[in-house]
Amino acid sequence: MKNFFLLILVLSISLNSCKRPNQTDHSYTLEEYRELGMPDYDTVWNLENYETAFYVFKTLKYWKPLTLPAKDSEKSGLLFSRMVNIENLSFLKDDSLPLHEKAQMIKWYFNLYGGLIDVYTSIQPERQYYIRELGDIDIFGVRIAQKMLDLGNEINESDDPPDVDMQSDFPLIQKMYLNILSDVLKQQQHTSMYPVQTLEHLSDSLSHSVRRNMNWFDEDASEKIKQALLTVIDSTSSRKIINDYRELIETL
């Protein structure tokens, strides 16, 4: 019986850690968003869809800032998931598009990542209502950066003249990736702002990304990442993050 009550207590703490500080879901229903002009959640979004969505987002943030689509919301969770779905970059799989055209298109998607951060960031940095959503948006940004690296590698292997002209830009893509990695790790240092589950989900994504790309890191990049990881380790109480990041540091 004692073990039973202990299990209930652990489950209760775990479930509560997944919720935002304010338990009330202020977001709208899918139909209400649709009436405002929001694109459908059940179709892949292109740049035009994102442009339409941003118009709605900015209007909502100005007038009713707590009504943006929310992660895991019964009312708007599907819409939020669509916004940060890497499937929206499915044009990269279109063999009819030349690589250099894909490169021009994906630049706009990376700009969208910054736009989503702006929309979901509160003007009060010490109290972020959408902290769980910002974690998923950061993961979306890292995934876009990875797609840019993958595309850059394809372009480097191409002998098509327009692609060859772009090959000199690859170091800039690598630098962009390292910058976003550094920025997200800095955000992760503010552990008191994040639910533990969000931090651990973010650390899983970052660890996977670093391991995938560490073969091209130079000594300076590796050292900066190590220092950022150590700072996160010093600021978190999550044993999972501590163990995962210590193991990652040993491989860098």
Yes or no: say if 198 and 206 are a contact pair by the CB < 8 Å rule: no
For the residues 83-91, what does the mean pLDDT come to?
Answer: 97
CA angle 59, 145, 111 (to 5 degrees): 30
The residue with tokens 């969505």 is: 53
Q: What is the rounded CA–CA span in Å between residue 121 and residue 34?
A: 23
Joined together, the tokens standing for residue 53 give 């969505």
Q: Give the Cα separation of 108 and 103 in Å (integer).
A: 9
The pLDDT of residue 167: 97
Confidence tier at 93 by pLDDT (50, 70, 90): very high
Domain boundaries, the chain: 127-251
Question: Which pLDDT score is estimated for 12?
Answer: 37
pTM, rounded to two decimals: 0.88
pLDDT tens digits for 10-60?
333 333 334 454 468 999 999 999 999 999 999 999 999 999 999 999 999
More confident residue, 64 or 22: 64
Residue type (1 letter), 127: R
Q: Give the contacts of 103 (CB within 8 A, at least 6 positions apart).
A: 151, 152, 155, 166
**Residue 2: pLDDT above 50?**
no
Band of the pLDDT at 123, cuts 50, 70, 90? low
> For residue 218, what are the CA distances in angstroms to 143, 179, 215?
21, 14, 9
**What average pLDDT does this structure show over 140-150?**
97
pLDDT tens sequence across 198-210 = 999 999 999 999 9
Determine phi and psi for 70, rounding to 5 degrees.
-120, 145
Cβ atoms of 68 and 57 within 8 Å: the answer is yes
